[in-house]
Chain A
Amino acid sequence: MALGLLVAGAVVATLIARHRWWLPPLASLQGRPVDRLFLVTLAIISAAFMLVQGLLALFVWLYRDRGQRASYWHEHRALELTYTIVPAVVMTGLTVAAAGLWARIHSAPPPGALVVEVRAEQFGWKARYPGPDGRFGRIDPRLFSPRQNPFALDPADPAGQDDLVLDISTSAALHLVVNRPVEVRLRAKDVVHSFFVPAFRVKQDAVPGMVTRTWFTPSRTGTYEIACAELCGPLHYIMRGRIVVQTQEEFDAWLAAQVRP
C-alpha cells in the first residue's frame, strides 16, 4: 500500500514539477536531441520504476504471512535469462543512441563558426574575441595585471594587438550570434571551474593548464546566464556570467563599437 502511494506520489510530483520545476527553456540547436534523449530515457526509467515498485508492492501484499507455506522455488533459468537479456537490449539501444549524439557534440565545429575564448577565475568570467585579424595573441601569465592586462596578453605578439577582452561577469556580456555556431575555448586562471549554460545544455570544465573546447549553436536571441558548476572556493556561488545572443547585424554593430581606437 505504501509503495502504491509512493508510485502515485512520484507521478503526481513529476506532473507538478513539469509545470514549476523543469529544465529551463531550450535556446540552442544541439540541445534539442539532448532533451529528446533525456525524455526517452525518463520515459524508460519511469516505466521501470512503476513496474518494479508496483511488483514489489503487489508481492508484499499478496504473499504476506496468512499461514500459507512458502513455495520451495529458487531456480528458473529461462526467467533469469529473460531479465538479463531484456535490460541488456535496452542498455545497448541507449548506448548506441547516446554514443552517436556524443560524437556529434564533440565533432569539429563547422567552418565559419565564431570562436571566442572564455577564461574562468575565482570568481568570475572573462572573454576574449580575436579581433579583426581573427587570431588570438599569445598569453604569458607572468604579465598579468588586474587592471592593465587582465588576460595576461603578451604585447610583443602582433596577433594580440587587436584582441578584445571583456569582463562578462560584471560590466559586459559574451555576445553571440543567433543560429551561428560558436566554439568556446576555455581556460582557467587558478583552479578548476565549469562553464555551465543551462539554457544551451552546455557544460564544460575549465581546467588549469589546458584549453578545453565546446561548440554549440544558440537558437534564440535573448540574455542567458553562465554558472560555475565546479566547486572553486568560498564565492563559487556568485560566479556568474552573462551571454547576449543577437542577430548578425546587431552583433556586428556591437563589435564595431568595441574595437579599441
Chain B
Amino acid sequence: MAHALPHLDARTVGELSFWRRYIFSQDHKVIGIQYALTSMAMAVLGGVLALFIRLQLGWPGRSWPLLGRLFPGGMPEGQMSQAFYLAAVTMHGTIMIFFVLTTLLTGGFGNFLIPLMIGARDMAFPFLNMLSYWLYPPAIVILLASFFVSGGAAGGGWTAYPPLSALPQAAPGSGLGQTLWLVALAVLIVAFLFGSLNYITTVLQLRTRGMSMLRLPLTVWALFVTAILSLLAFPVLLAAAIMLLFDRLGGTSFFVPAGLLVGTTPVDHAGGDPLLWQHLFWFLGHPEVYVLILPPMGMVSDILANNARKPIFGYRFMVGSMVAIAFLSFLVWGHHMYTSGMHPLLGTAFMTTTLVIAVPSAIKTFNWLATLWRGKIRFTSAMLFALGFLSLFVTGGLTGIVLAQPPVDIYFHDTFFVVAHFHFVMASAAIFAAFAGTYYWFPKMFGRMLDERLGRWHFWLTFAGIYATFFPMHYAGFMGMMRRIYSPQLYAHLQGLAPLNVFVSLAAFVLFAAQSIFLYNFFRSLFRGPRAERNPWGATTLEWTAPSPPPHGNWGPALPVVQRWAYEYSPPNAAQDFLPQTAPAAVPVGREPGALGGDGERRR
C-alpha cells in the first residue's frame, strides 16, 4: 500500500526544491525534526521563565538592576512586578506542557519514529502532516505576542480558571494576553488533532508485511495509544477554549455566574458556572499527563531492552497496562478538584479510579526492573537517561498516592508538594525520556553520533540537578507553601523556609546551565560528529535497517519484511546477541520452508 504513494517516488525526490524538501516538507522525518528543533527552542524559553520564577522565590523583594534594564516592563527598577511573575508562572507551564513536551514527544519523536518502526515509507496523510507542523509556529507567535500587549501575558495559571481568566478587568494578565493565550492554544490543538489522526491511521494501515500489532515495538504502541488519547481528549479543551473566548468577547456566560463584583463594579454576566470550566479543562488536563508520559514509557522500554541486551519483560502486560492507563486516564480528572466544591461523593469516585491507575503504573515499573535483572547493561548516555527516567518516575509516582486521597489532598492541594509531584512524574521523567530518545535516535536522525563523554556529564549534572531542585519542594509543601505565590515571606506558617527556597533556586540555575552541555553536544555533533553506521546500538527494530539518515521513502525499492517480535535480544543458540525483526525465522524441523515465513499471513 505504501508503495503506491506517488510523491514518494525516489526518482523525483532529488528534483524537489530546497523549500519543498526542508521547509514545507511532507517527509515525516523532516517534519519530526522540525517539531523537535522548534520544541527545543521553546524549552529554552520555558526554562528561562522558570529561572525568573526561582529568582523571585529565592530572593523575594530583592532588586536586580541589570535585569531591570533588560526587561523594563516586567522588572521596573529591577524588581519583578507581580503581574510579570504570574505571567512567568503561567507561560512556563503552558509552554512546557503544550509547546515543548507534547510537541516534542508526539510531534517530534512520533513523526520521526512511527513510519520507520513499522516499515512504512511515510505517514498516511503527508500533506496533513505538513499542515500539522505549520500550525505550530503561528501558535507560538500568537502566544509570545501576548508578552508585548497591554497588561502582559496571561497570568491566570496554565489552568486558566474563570472568572479570573474570563473577566478582563479582574487582573492585568486577564486582558488581551489571556485572549491570545486561548487562541494560541486552540490553533495548537488543531495541529495535535491533525497529527493524532495521522498516527492512528498510519499505525493501523501502513504496517509492513509481518508487522502484526503484537510485534510492534512498545514505542509505537505508546505513540499509538497516545494518539487515541489526544484525539479524544483535546477536542474537549478546544471546545472549552472557544466557550471561554465567547465569554470574553461575545458576551456569553458559560463560566461566569450572576452577581459578581470586581472591585466595586458589578459584572454584566449571569447564568454560568466556574466549575464547568474546571471539569472540561481537567477532562483534557489529566489525559494530557499521560499524553506526556506514555511515549516516554514506550521509548524507555525499547532503550532499556536494547542496552540491557535482554528482551523487554512482560511485553503483553506492558501493552495491556498502557491500554489500561489510557482508558482509566479519562476517569480520574476529578482528583484535581477535591476541594473545588464539587459533590464529595465525586471525590470518593475519583479517588478510587486514581488509586486503580497506580496498579498498571506499578506493573510497568516492576517490568522494567525485571528487564534489567540478569541483563548485560551497557551504560550509554541513552541508557543512563532511561535509568534516570525510571528513578524519577518512581519518585513522582509514589507522591501521587498521597495526593490521590482526598482527606490528605485537602492539605496538600495547591501547595508545593503538588509542584514537586508533577515535576517529577511528568515533567522531569518525560524530559529524561526525551533525552534518552535523543541520544539513542540521533544517529538515525542525522547520520552522526553524539559525544558519549559529554552525554555522561550531561546526565550526571542533570540527574543531580533535578533531585536537588524538586525533591526539597516536597518539604515546602509539608509546610503548606502555596503554589503561584509571589512571596512566602508574609505568612507565619512559612517562616524558616527561606534557606530551602534559596537552595532550590541555586539548584535550578545549575540544572539550567547543565543543559548547555547538551545543546553544545547536539549542534557540534550535527556537523562534526563521527558518521553513524546503520545500526550502531545493535538494535532489533526496523528503523535500524534503513540507512542513517534514511533517504526519502526510508528504504530502497523493497520494504523490510518482519519475521519476529521486536525484542530478540540474546536469544539462545544465536551467534549475535540480537536478531533484527527482519532476520528470517528458523524453520522448525519437519515443516516446509515458507509455511512459517511470518510473511504477513496474520494481516488481512
A residues whose Cβ falls under 8 Å from a Cβ of B = 2-3, 6, 9-10, 13, 17, 20-24, 33-34, 37-38, 41-42, 44-45, 48-49, 52-53, 55-56, 59-60, 63-66, 68-76, 79-80, 83-84, 87-88, 91-92, 94-95, 98-99, 101-103, 105-106, 121-122, 141-142, 144-146, 152, 189-192, 194, 196, 198-199, 201-205, 207-210, 212, 225, 227-238, 240
Contacts and interface: CB of A to CB of B under 8 A. Distances in A.
Interface in B366-380: 366-367, 369-379
A22 B488 CA distance: 15
B399 interface: yes
B601 to A, nearest CB: 24
Contact of B344 (A71, A102, A233): A102
Nearest to A199: B493
A13 B171 CA distance: 39
B395 A21 contact: no
Given A209-B273, A209-B274, A227 B482 contact: yes
B261 A70 contact: no
B391 A227 contact: no
A65 to B, nearest CB: 5
B588 interface: no
23 contacts: A6-B467, A34-B410, A37-B408, A53-B394, A59-B377, A64-B379, A65-B376, A66-B376, A74-B312, A75-B315, A80-B317, A80-B363, A94-B355, A141-B266, A190-B167, A190-B261, A190-B267, A198-B480, A208-B257, A208-B274, A209-B260, A228-B482, A229-B339
B509 interface: no
Contact of A83 (B363, B408, B569): B363
A145 B485 CA distance: 29
A71 B398 contact: no
A37 B486 CA distance: 31
A146 B264 contact: yes
B43 interface: no
B79 interface: no
Contact of B369 (A10, A55, A204): A55
A101 B460 CA distance: 43
B367 A80 contact: yes
Contacts of A74: 310-315, 371, 567
Contacts of A190: 163, 167, 170, 260-263, 267
Given A99-B348, A236-B484, 20 more contacts: A20-B496, A23-B479, A33-B407, A34-B411, A37-B405, A45-B401, A59-B377, A71-B375, A72-B569, A79-B370, A80-B314, A80-B366, A83-B362, A94-B355, A102-B347, A152-B261, A190-B267, A191-B162, A203-B413, A227-B491
B394 A209 contact: no
Interface string B151-167: 00001110001111001
Nearest to B155: A234
Contact of A52 (B161, B369, B485): B369
B351 interface: yes
Interface string B171-199: 11100000000000000000000000000
Contacts of B492: 225
A233 B171 contact: yes
B410 A59 contact: no
Contacts of A236: 86, 484-486
A70 B362 contact: no
| Interface core residue of B348, B362, B482, B488 (most chain A CB under 10 Å) | B482
Interface in B297-312: 308-312
A21 B475 contact: yes
Contact of B405 (A41, A144, A146, A204): A41
A237 B485 contact: yes
9 tightest Cβ-Cβ pairs between the two chains A and B: A209-B257, A98-B405, A198-B480, A106-B344, A74-B311, A21-B475, A234-B82, A237-B485, A141-B259
Interface in B386-442: 387, 390-391, 394-395, 398-399, 401-402, 404-408, 410-411, 413-415
A235 B496 CA distance: 22
Contacts of B162: 191-192
B500 interface: yes
Nearest to B567: A74
A42 B572 CA distance: 44
Given A21-B476, A225-B491, A191 B341 contact: no
B358 interface: yes
A120 B239 CA distance: 30
Contact of A64 (B172, B260, B339, B377): B377
Contacts of B500: 21
A189 B167 CA distance: 13
A55 B313 CA distance: 16
A144 B410 CA distance: 32
A144 B288 CA distance: 42
B463 interface: yes
B361 to A, nearest CB: 9
A209 B372 contact: no
Given A71-B374, A72-B571, A63 B308 contact: yes
Contacts of B491: 225, 227, 240
Nearest to A225: B492
B359 interface: yes
B369 to A, nearest CB: 5
Contacts of A20: 496
A70 B471 CA distance: 35
A214 to B, nearest CB: 9
B570 A72 contact: yes
B596 to A, nearest CB: 20
A76 B373 CA distance: 13
A141 B260 contact: yes
A80 B320 CA distance: 12
Given A41-B405, A98-B407, A192-B164, A65 B377 contact: yes
Contacts of A23: 411, 478-480
| Interface core residue of B317, B367, B377, B399 (most chain A CB under 10 Å) | B377
Contact of A45 (B161, B402, B577): B402
A145 B261 CA distance: 11
